[in-house]
Amino acid sequence: MKRPRLMAPGPVLVGQSVMKRISESIIHHRTPAFTERLNSALKNLKKIFQTEQACMIHASTGTGAMESAIVNTLSPGDEILVVCCGRFGERWAEIAEAYGIKAHRIEQEWGTSLKISNLEKALKDHPNVKALLSQACETSTGAIHPIKEMAEKMNDHSGIFMVDGITALGAYHIPMDRWGIDVLIGGSQKAFALPTGLSFISLSEKAWKFYEEAKCPRFYFDLKSEKLANDKGQTRFSSAGSLIEGLELSLYYLTEMGLDNHFHTIADRAFYFRKAMKEMGLEFFPENPSPSLTVVKVPEGIDGVKFRAHIEDKYNVTVMGGQEKLKGQIIRIGHMGAQNLNDYLLTISAIGNSLIDLGFALSKEQVDRAELNYKCNWQERESGHG
């Protein structure tokens, strides 16, 4: 079977040593050997969340942690504000509504970042809201939201601030305690450079108070029971042992390398890649792009669905297209995961040559030059002169 190079904004490329660890023989999850792994992972997760609070792991995809955030802090009938300018904002609202919570959407055009004045207005219009829910990075558009400023607005509000940081946490600084975020979540197949299947969550002291009052039905995702099990070196139910072993190793690398270094690497991948896209005549979609992914507009006259499929079929690179109202209009390339220089050269040439194949006004020389410039920039950076 053909296995195209994975350059999507999740799932992402997983490094070889982590893949190897995941494929080792299984350690039973109720043993001291596993407890050691789990404790290390839980301890290092706090460094990524930049929190003193406990971090917990769910054996679920990221959406599970979104549901967990809601059922552990809210009650049917509660009112909340949800930032909706993309597909994942809408998902927050849909989960809440499934539990009988009244979601007031702060709607803006897809691709925009939240305007603080719109938040101020929504807070005035709905004075009784129990929470504000947002993405840190709206992965469907590539836009980043002003989380620090939003947290400031919520800090003297009686409600809590819940952030889906699935394409932020582990990709750039999002210091939960310092900024005053009450619930923060992450996902394994994005910035943690792991396969899909784990999600992460942490609650502030204020959010734990909400836990005590929350009336949404919950069982599997009950965080207090999970935390009690974690305090004894276990997970409440069977641990996703192999993935947690992979997590332990991935977190070890992240924290050993230093978070700042890791975040710089991701930001530089994005910076030089965008330079290459610009050199090939492409434009970008979001007004304030996140470093975790690049979203380029499909040039006029090119069928975006065909374009994405062509990159994969002919050049063996997987990038993502747009979803729902952006279908066919954008392609999305991730900067998270175990990517190297070669992955980028391949991606730049795959995108460039596909554009040529589909009739875009671009020459082979321009594509080669964009690729070469990326290579020079990256090598200069690696040698410490970048």
Ligand X SMILES: *Cc1c(COP(=O)(O)O)cnc(C)c1O
Interaction site with ligand X (CB under 6 A): 10, 61-63, 88, 135, 139, 164, 166-167, 187, 190
Give whichever of 141 and 347 is closer to ligand X, judged by the CB atom.
Answer: 141
Burial (CB < 10 A; 0-12, 13-18, 19+), residue 79, is: middle
Q: Is the peptide bond before 32 cis (omega within 30 degrees of 0)?
A: no
Cβ-based nearer residue to ligand X, 169 or 355: 169
The four Cα atoms 271, 275, 276, 278 give a dihedral, to 10 degrees, of 140
Tell me if 170 sits within 8 A of 197, measured CB to CB: no
CB of 265 to ligand X, least distance (A): 20
Q: Residue 186 CB, nearest distance to ligand X (Å)?
A: 10
Nearest distance from residue 133's CB to ligand X, in Å? 11
Identify which of residues 180 and 197 has a Cβ nearer to ligand X in the complex.
Answer: 197
Pull the structure tokens for residue 160: 């809590």
The least distance separating ligand X from the CB of residue 191, rounded to whole angstroms, comes to 10
CA atoms of 213 and 127, how far apart (whole Å): 19
**Of the two residues 294 and 353, which places its CB atom closer to ligand X in the complex?**
294
Q: Please state whether the peptide bond connecting residue 11 to the residue before it is cis, i.e. omega within 30 degrees of 0.
A: yes
Q: Which is nearer to ligand X, 180 or 187 (CB)?
A: 187
Q: Tokens 């300018």: give the residue.
A: 85
Q: How far is the CB of 323 from ligand X (least distance, A)?
A: 11
Nearest CB to ligand X, comparing residues 112 and 373? 112
Residue closer to ligand X (CB basis): 184 or 355: 184
CB of 118 to ligand X, least distance (A): 20
Indicate the SS3 state at residue 224: helix
Quote the least distance from Cβ 267 to ligand X, whole Å. 18
A 10 A CB-CB count for 64 gives 19
* Angle of helix 116-125 versus helix 147-155 axis, rounded to 10: 30
Q: Are strands 143-144 and 137-138 parallel, antiparallel or unpaired?
A: antiparallel
In Å, how far from its chain's centre is CA 52? 21
